[in-house]
Structure 1
Amino acid sequence: MTAEDESDKLLLAARRIRRATSTDFVISLVADDFSRASNTYLGKLRSNFLGTKFTIYDSQPPSVASIQERSQRSRRFCTKQVSVTGPAYNYSIANISYELNVLRTRGPRRMHCVMHSVPFSSIQGGSAPTPTSFPRSFGEKASPPSVSDSKETAKDASSPSISSSAVPLPLQESLVLKNKAPRWHEQLQCWCLNFRGRVTVASVKNFQLVAAVAPPHNIPAAEQEKVILQFGKIGKDIFTMDYRYPLSAYQAFAICLSSFDTKPVCE
């Protein structure tokens, strides 16, 4: 993932790791270090066996997770000289699910994203959690861990599939994203979405997400149509990602990564 307005500056990188029953996309601030012991490690995306359900994990709990601040910190230090502080924890911050297409009907994939760390009120004038500080900077030494902390760290290191869990928002208070409904184009004989020129190549991976709004929330129709995240193809192995508040770059990037996993039961 690179920023178009900053001379193709690298923002985030991911490596896919296939396992017997799942697939992991490990996410880092650099393209050559995906170790959980590195200060450039951000988190991971994990799929189920069928590639229909995903969990986004962050290396920091939601109250202190900020891609912007961590990016600023990484630029202050040489990424080749990061300190090793032991394996990072993984906090579940979102779930993504793709609907099964058992009837093999035509149309784009359908997905839902439950953002456990982002309140629904953030699209109504409220605010999403924005951290202002971190427990410690790269240059500070970690304090000696307690006996219980040591046991938890050892457990996490030996069992990568077991992750720490921050306290999530109640489901009814969490922001839920869904696919924006496409329109059938009679002349082209295909389902179409208006990407406003940002997507130029047809692909099953293309999507737009809007907030899923229940009638009691009384949100104006125009607000419900606002695209919060869109992703699409513009060339061979080249895609664009556009996101807006209240998603962070990390959350948006992880959601888009889920589109690359094989989903034969959703096509």
Structure 2
Amino acid sequence: MLGTYFTVFDQGSNPKKNVPIEQQRRELAAIAYETNILGFKGPRRMTIIIPGMSSDHHRVEVRPNDNSESLIERWKHNDMSNLLELHNKSPIWNEETQSYVLNFHGRVTQASVKNFQVVHDNDQEYVCMQFGRVSDGKFY
């Protein structure tokens, strides 16, 4: 699969520095932007992978010792145990404006290719997070 990948770490150290496990950095999230088959003529798909929660309501720690244990590599190999996969909500084509749109219920006031909403596949109507432009150079 082609695309761009990003990983969000905490302030811990890179495991390549041979530090004790408790000082090694944790992966907090990973984001995969998939290449659009239509090129630049349509919205891109974003996948967010985050560690799940344990039965005692704590985030499962992901401290990979090498790249094969990372959130992105686990996702690529469909190893989703103790992980949660979220996606950006697919915008709908609006004939009137000739653009893709999302309903931000008044919270976002300006169009931008950077606007997005994050949902779980089980409930596309429940928005977990949203990001959108409200004025020039200002996003919430």
Taking structure 1 as the reference length, the TM-score comes to: 0.38
Q: How far off its partner does 1:102 sit?
A: 4.6
- Which consecutive unaligned segments of at least 5 residues does structure 1 have? 1-49, 61-87, 131-163, 214-222, 241-267
1:171 has 2:71 as partner = no
| Matched residue count | 116
Residue of structure 1 equivalent to 2:36: 101
1:236 has 2:132 as partner = no
Write the letter of the residue equivalent to 2:28.
Answer: I
Q: What does the per-residue CA deviation read over 1:81-107, in whole Å, with 9 as the maximum and x for residues that have no partner?
A: xxxxxxx74211221100112532523
1:110 has 2:62 as partner = no
Residue of structure 2 equivalent to 1:255: none
Q: How far off its partner does 1:203 sit?
A: 1.0
CA distance in 2, matches of 1:186, 1:51: 29
**Is the 2:36–2:42 Cα contact (8 Å) retained in structure 1?**
no
1:212 has 2:121 as partner = yes
Select the structure that is richer in helix: 1
CA distance in 1, matches of 2:137, 2:37: 29
The two structures, once aligned, show a CA RMSD in angstroms of 3.1
Q: Percent identity of the aligned residues?
A: 41
Q: How far off its partner does 1:179 sit?
A: 1.3
Question: Which runs of structure 2 are paired with 1:96-245 in the superposition (5 Å)?
Answer: 96-104=31-39, 106-115=41-50, 117-119=51-53, 128-129=57-58, 165=64, 171-213=80-122, 223-240=123-140
Rg (Cα) greater in structure: 1
SS of equivalent to 1:226: strand
**Is the 2:47–2:86 Cα contact (8 Å) retained in structure 1?**
yes
1:57 has 2:9 as partner = yes
4+ residue segments displaced more than 2 Å: 105-109, 164-170
SS of equivalent to 1:101: coil
**Is the 2:117–2:131 Cα contact (8 Å) retained in structure 1?**
yes
Select the structure that is richer in strand: 2
Change beyond 3 A, Cα 1:58–1:203: same
